[in-house]
Amino acid sequence: MAAAQVRRPGGPLMPRAPKHCGHPDCTTPVRGTSYCPSHRNKWTSTGRTASSQLHDSTEWRQARRTYMAGATRCEAQLTHRCTGQPEQCDMIRPASQGGQITPHNLQAICRPCHAVKTRRERA
Ligand SMILES: [Zn+2]
Ligand SMILES: [Zn+2]
pLDDT at 11: 53
The highest-confidence range among 5-14, 49-58, 87-96, by mean pLDDT, is 87-96
* Distance, CA of 13 to CA of 22 (rounded, Å): 25
**99, 91 contact by CB (below 8 A):** yes
Name 43's Cβ contacts closer than 8 Å, sequence gap at least 6. 22, 23, 35, 49
The residue-averaged pLDDT of 96-100 equals: 88
**Which ligand has the nearest atom to the CA of 41?**
1
pLDDT at 9: 58
**Which ligand has the nearest atom to the CA of 26?**
1
What is the CA(109)–ligand 1 centre distance, in A?
35
**Which ligand has the nearest atom to the CA of 29?**
1
What is the CA(89)–ligand 2 centre distance, in A?
11
* Distance, CA of 123 to CA of 118 (rounded, Å): 9
* Distance, CA of 60 to CA of 50 (rounded, Å): 13
Q: Where does the chain have alpha helices with state H? A: 37-44, 47-55, 58-69, 111-122
Tens of pLDDT along 13-71? Answer: 556 667 888 888 888 899 888 888 888 775 445 555 667 778 888 999 999 999 999 99
**Which ligand has the nearest atom to the CA of 38?**
1
What is the CA(76)–ligand 2 centre distance, in A?
5
